[in-house]
Structure 1
Amino acid sequence: MKIIVTEQANKWFEEELELEKGDAVRFYGKVYGKTEVHDNYSVAMQVAEPNDVLAKATVNGITYFAEKWDEWFFSEYDFKIEYDEKADEIRYRFLS
């Protein structure tokens, strides 16, 4: 698994979550919702310190990561985080 964060997405996170260099954002699966590869689960995120990292990416000093216990949600996919300018929101993509 690889995490890919676009520069525009990173900027959105910095502004919306008031992140600074050294901060970290964890991604994981949550019950309810849907992704392009999961029924009844969607992507959740929280500002948190990495513990047992499965994968991570660092952009402009901000670390984006998933923990090993969330491997069930990300297995077999790369995880791409993009900013949708028209909708002014983040889009999560699972790439095979």
Structure 2
Amino acid sequence: MNLVVEQAAARWYKEQMGLSDGDSLRIFVRLGGCGSVHPGLSLGITKEEPRKPGLLQQVEGVNFYMEEDNVWYVDNKELRISFDEKYEEIKMNVV
């Protein structure tokens, strides 16, 4: 399992959420939405300090992570977070 956050996506989150170096963003599994991996589930993101991170990557000074109890969502795959400049939106893909 791997977490890859592209720099453009990290910069977008920093700007849009007013984040500073050292802040943490938790990626979590939520009920509903249009997740492509598990029907009826999708990923959300919130500013929160880690308790037991299972996946972690620091980009642009921000810690992006998933807690241990949520990594099953990306089981043996890679979660890639990117920014689509054409549509000016974040994309979360599990590949």
Q: Where on the TM-score scale, by shorter chain, does this alignment land: which range?
A: over 0.9
- Structure 2 letter corresponding to 1:43: L
- Taking structure 1 as the reference length, the TM-score comes to 0.93
1-structure distance, mates of 2:84, 2:43: 16
Which runs of 5 or more structure 2 residues have no equivalent in the other structure? Answer: none
Q: Is the 8 A contact 1:57 1:65 kept in 2?
A: yes
Task: State the TM-score, normalizing by the size of structure 2.
Answer: 0.94
Matching residue of 2:60: 60
Say which is worse superposed, 51-60 or 29-38, in terms of deviation: 29-38
Shift of 1:22: 0.4
Q: Which structure 1 residue ranges, 5 or more long, are not aligned?
A: none
Secondary structure, counterpart of 1:34 in structure 2? coil
Relative to its length, the structure with more strand (as a share) is 1
Deviation of the 1:38 alpha carbon: 1.8
Aligned runs of 1:1-96 on 2, under 5 Å? Answer: 1-95=1-95
Percent identity at matched positions? 26
Deviation track 1:12-43 (CA, whole Å, cap 9, x = no partner) reads 00001111000000001100112221210111
